[in-house]
Amino acid sequence: MKYRTFGKLGIQGSAFGLGCMRFNGPASGDSIIDESKAIGLIRRAIDGGVTYLDTAYVYLDRTSEIVVGKALEGGYRDKVTIATKMPAEAVHNRQEMENLLSEELRKLRTDHIDFYLMHGIDREKWEYFKSIGAPEFFDDMKKAGKIRFKCFSFHGPYEEFEYILRDYDWDMVQIQYNFMDVDNQAGTRGLELAGSLGIPVVIMEGLLGGRLAKAPSNVQALYDAFPVKRTPVEWAFRWLCDHPQVATVLSGCNEAEQIDQNLAIFDTVEAGIMTDAEKKLMDDVRRAYISRTRIGCTGCRYCMPCPNGVNIPGVFSAWNQVSLYDTDPRHSWDLQRILKNDEGANRCVECGACEAACPQHLGIIEGLKAAWAELT
Ligand SMILES: NC(=O)c1ccc[n+]([C@@H]2O[C@H](COP(=O)([O-])OP(=O)(O)OC[C@H]3O[C@@H](n4cnc5c(N)ncnc54)[C@H](OP(=O)(O)O)[C@@H]3O)[C@@H](O)[C@H]2O)c1
Ligand code: SF4
Ligand code: SF4
């Protein structure tokens, strides 16, 4: 296992951090998490050199922290740093924040949390956290020794990331980042900004939740043609670890084989080791994924609202995502949300109002028909 320095904190952590959000339930299907299997996976990772565990209050129906706590009995707690999170939805005042942190400490069977994060914030959630005194609460808990580092995880546009990052004395930040997200969310700009401020960056969704683990045929052809043979997972992690600002790459593993494979990969990856040819390969791979885009919708929403309730950019985004990563539409969260809200292309009556408004001059009506036929 390679170990990396956490920016201005100066501490060392394993390059591979175990995400504790994706453990499976037992085969019987009568519970959300197979506890003994999950405990085995966590300990296997720690025995292999992992020193960073990422969980959250809400993960796995609030059972993830409990399982992590159990896995860390018997001397394992001292071998790791724990990251867990406070969700904005669960707290409205200081008392509730105190109660929540106490509950998390109890579940994790520990007297302190190493990395305590405001969970999945954007600017709106950050303003909310400020309005209920969360920054002062984090300051006080750090002084009291109940948390070591004040952190946040982020989902939102770059501008909001920069605003939040500069608005408080953060110790660490967790962002979604991978070779496909260079211009998405915090993106490369966000990673570099955090690095320039000395704030260590922990990576989530490094494999886009597993979508980058299986390459579609045009991408696999590029990997196959490269003289050095590596799996798509190894390429993705290698690319991430090449960035010196990255402290730890989280990966949620469901199987012992995935833990073992990732342990082996993170034995070899380091910042600044990718050759120019390897970097070019990853640029080509990104372009090969993007070439699978089905329609050039930019999500500008000029066409919205549709008088008949079609979520036009939502349908196109789901269509593109499914095509890009060659995923089964039934596993598309975007599509599930559209179906749940009854915003599908089946509502279109072909009035044409959207096409007149689209700055990309897209054939929206025909596009919606094709998208819906494929997605459903
Ligand atoms: N704070 C936040 O807002 C937030 C949001 C998202 C995630 N997170 C945290 O970040 C962690 C990492 O994110 P993530 O779980 O989405 O990470 P990820 O690495 O992008 O995806 C994990 C998935 O990748 C696949 N995988 C992992 N190793 C593999 C291997 N060696 N070979 C093949 N497939 C492999 C597995 O997919 P299969 O299940 O298909 O096998 C696994 O479930 C989470 O567990 C969670 O702790 C935090
Ligand atoms: S053409 Fe269809 S999608 Fe476009 S505005 Fe009319 S009903 Fe909505
Ligand atoms: S106006 Fe065109 S590009 Fe913009 S969201 Fe609608 S379909 Fe997409």
Percent of the chain with pLDDT over 90: 89
Per residue in 86-116, pLDDT tens? 999 999 999 999 999 999 999 999 999 999 9
Put simply, whether the predicted model's pTM sits higher than 0.85 gets the answer: yes
Element (H, E) at 14: strand 12-14
Structural domain boundaries of the chain?
3-284, 312-375
- Rounded to 5 degrees, φ, ψ at 132 are -100, 10
Question: Which residue's CA is the nearest one to ligand 3's atom 7?
Answer: 297
pLDDT (0 to 100) of residue 69: 98
Q: Name which residue sits closest to atom 7 of ligand 2, judged by CA.
A: 348
- Alpha-carbon separation of residue 219 from 141, 251, 265, 287, 350 (angstroms): 47, 22, 20, 9, 36
Is 86 close to ligand 3, i.e. is its CB under 6 Å away?
no
List the beta bridge partners of residue 251.
18
Contact 132, 93 (CB under 8 A): yes
CA of 311 to the centre of ligand 2 (A): 9
E strands, 205-336, are 246-252
Q: Which CATH superfamily is domain 3-284 in?
A: NADP-dependent oxidoreductase domain (3.20.20.100)
Going by CA atoms, what residue is nearest to atom 25 of ligand 1? 210
How would you classify the pairing of strands 246-252 and 16-19?
parallel
Looking at the predicted structure, is the pLDDT value of residue 126 above 80? yes
| CA 138 to centroid of ligand 3, rounded, Å | 41
At 155-181, the pLDDT tens digits run 989 999 999 999 999 999 999 999 999
- Whether 364 is in the pocket of ligand 3, judged by its Cβ within 6 Å, is yes
Does 365 contact ligand 2 (Cβ within 6 A)?
yes
Whether ligand 2 lies within 6 angstroms of the CB of 283 is answered as no
How confident is the prediction for the chain on average, in pLDDT? 95
